[in-house]
Structure 1
Amino acid sequence: MSESSEAARNKQLAVHGFTQFAAGDIDVLRTLLHEDFIEHSPGNPSGREAFITFITEAPVARARLDLKRVIADDDHVVMHYHMATDDDPRGIAVVDIWRLDNGQIVEHWDVVQPVPEAAQVPHGMF
C-alpha cells in the first residue's frame, strides 16, 4: 500500500526539518512549528516560541542525530532515530510522533530510551 499524497507531503516536510535541525539549524523550527504548537512530553513547553527557547538549551540541540526510519500516515509522521553525544556515545533511542496540519507541526509526542550495551540487545536497537 502506498502513502497518501498528504502522508508523502508531511513525511517530506518532517524529514527536511529533521535534516536541517540535525545540521544545527534551530531556526527551521520557526517555520515548521505552528504558533500554537502543542507538546505532550512531560516537562517540555507548548507554544512555538517557548518550545524553541527550551529546545535550544536541550541536549538534542548539540547531539548527533541519526535518522533510522520514518513512517507517515495522513497527518502523522513517526521518526525513529539515534541521538548520541561525545559524552554518551551509546546515546538514546528516540521515537517522535508529529501531527501536521497545513504544512506545519501542530502536536508532538515522544518516547525515549537509553541504548543499552550491545550484549543486552542481541538484535540491535535500530
Structure 2
Amino acid sequence: MTDTHITDTAAANRRLVTEAMARFAAGDHTVLADVLAEDFIEHSPDNPSGREAFIAHITNAPVARAHLEIARVIADHRYVVVHYRMDTGDRTGGDAVADIWRLDDGRITEHWDVVQPVPDPERTPNGMF
C-alpha cells in the first residue's frame, strides 16, 4: 500500500465520519444506515452491536438531540478519532467525548468511545479541548 493511498483513504474516512456526524447532529438520523456496516460492532457499555439495533438505540439516546462541538479529528487509513464537546442540556459544560471509529471499504465497522463530564474550569486550568 502506497503512502498516497493511505493518505487518500485517511482523508476519505475523515470526511465520511465528520459529514455523518454533522448530518446526525442536524437531526438527519437516516445517515446512520448510509455509513454503518450491517455487521457493525459497538464497544460502548449498554449499546447494541449490529446496524439496525444500534440505529434503533442511538436515535433514542441523548446524543440524538445534542449539540456537538468538534475540537479535533485524527485519521489514518482505518481509524478516525473525533474529540468533541457534547451538550445535551443535562449538565453545565456538557461532556467531553472521544469517539474512535474503524472503517473498512467506506463503511463504519466498529466504534469505541470515552465520555466524561466537563468539570468546572478551575479544575482544568488548561481546558478540556
Letter in structure 2 aligned against 1:45 = P
Secondary structure of the corresponding residue to residue 57 of structure 1 = coil
Post-superposition offset of 1:90: 0.8
Instruction: Kindly indicate whether residue 67 of structure 2 is the aligned counterpart of residue 64 of structure 1.
Output: yes
Work out the CA distance in 2 between the residues paired with 1:90 and 1:53.
Answer: 27
CA-to-aligned-CA distance 1:22-71 (integer Å, 9 cap, x gap): 11111100010001000011111000000000001110001111111100
Instruction: Kindly indicate whether residue 53 of structure 2 is the aligned counterpart of residue 50 of structure 1.
Output: yes
* Correspondences of 1:75-114 after superposition (within 5 Å): 75-114=78-117
Runs (4+) of structure 1 moved beyond 6 Å?
none
- 2:25: which partner in 1? 22
Letter in structure 2 aligned against 1:106 = T
Work out the CA distance in 1 between the residues paired with 2:64 and 2:12.
Answer: 25
Work out the CA distance in 2 between the residues paired with 1:57 and 1:16.
Answer: 20
Secondary structure of the corresponding residue to residue 38 of structure 2 = strand
CA-to-aligned-CA distance 1:49-104 (integer Å, 9 cap, x gap): 00000001110001111111100011100000100123323110000000001111
Aligned pair count?
A: 126
Work out the CA distance in 2 between the residues paired with 1:5 and 1:57.
Answer: 34
Work out the CA distance in 1 between the residues paired with 2:108 and 2:26.
Answer: 19
Post-superposition offset of 1:18: 0.7
Work out the CA distance in 1 between the residues paired with 2:109 and 2:88.
Answer: 28
Where does the alignment leave 5 or more consecutive residues of structure 1 unmatched? none
Indicate the RMSD between aligned Cα atoms, in angstroms.
1.5
Alignment match of 2:34 (pick from 20, 31, 34): 31
